[in-house]
Amino acid sequence: MDVPMLILLGSAVFGASCLQSATGIGYGVIAGPIFLVFLNGIEAFQISTIHNFCIALILLPMFWGQINRKLLRGLVVGSFGGIPFGFYLQTTADIVLLKIAASLMVGFVTVALILDIRKATPWSGITKKTPFENIGVGSLSGLMGGMLAMPGPLAATWMSIRGVNKSEVRATVLAFFLFAYGANIMLYASAIGVSADVLSLSLWLLPPLVLGIVAGNGLSNLYSEQTFRYLLLLILILTMVLLVADWGKSL
């Protein structure tokens, strides 16, 4: 891979990990789609999976005490069926269909973020959650994780709607990441393998990822989370435009 492409991908990784560290969301729905556009294959999901797993390992110890373990158990149980089926879709579906699905997921996150920014109070104030609902969300989140390496958006949005506070949402989603992305890594290793090129590129991009996490953590003390959320919204819109333009050329 040439130097300009490495710089481009490194910049995307730095920015996405910075936003992930500052707001709790961002990496999978920004860096993942950018990888998908420029690598044009499931290698994009493999790199995103490896990086997201690393992000969870780095950030989770800071939020360990805030995990909602009851919700986490439901998400994990539900994802047992969703992740393998999503993985099957990822490895068998046409890449254009995966790009369309990724753009829809980025669009979903964009709309959810707009609604979250606009609201003055929690979406519903409903805190009662049934186990079946929890497991169902886990199944759908696992499906998105297995297919698009994006298990977080559905789970985080559902918890926010159900009145879970932001610190618990962030901690619980990070813990869910360890399981979901860890399962993806095992599926890749056992079913199709991970190429030396993917591992090499993942390692090359780890320094900007770590620097982004450190920068996001530091900048979050200087600027409000709302500022970062507006920046995240802008980048999500640009990412969605990039995805749509890319798969639109193939239709």
- Residue matched to tokens 């890749």: 188
DSSP 188: I
Give the integer Cα–Cα distance in Å for 167 and 59.
Answer: 13
Give the integer Cα–Cα distance in Å for 19 and 128.
Answer: 30
End-to-end CA distance of the chain, in Å? 27
Cβ(4)–Cβ(195) under 8 Å?
no
Q: What is the pLDDT along the chain (251 residues), one digit of tens a residue?
A: 788 888 999 999 999 999 888 877 778 888 999 999 999 999 999 999 999 999 999 999 988 999 999 999 999 999 999 999 999 999 999 999 999 999 999 999 889 888 887 775 444 444 556 778 899 999 999 999 999 999 988 998 888 888 888 889 889 999 999 999 999 999 999 999 999 999 999 999 999 999 999 998 888 788 777 887 888 888 889 999 999 999 888 77
Give the integer Cα–Cα distance in Å for 184 and 190.
Answer: 10
**How much is the pLDDT for 128?**
59
Global confidence as pTM: 0.90
Cβ(81)–Cβ(180) under 8 Å?
no
DSSP 230: H
**How much is the pLDDT for 102?**
93
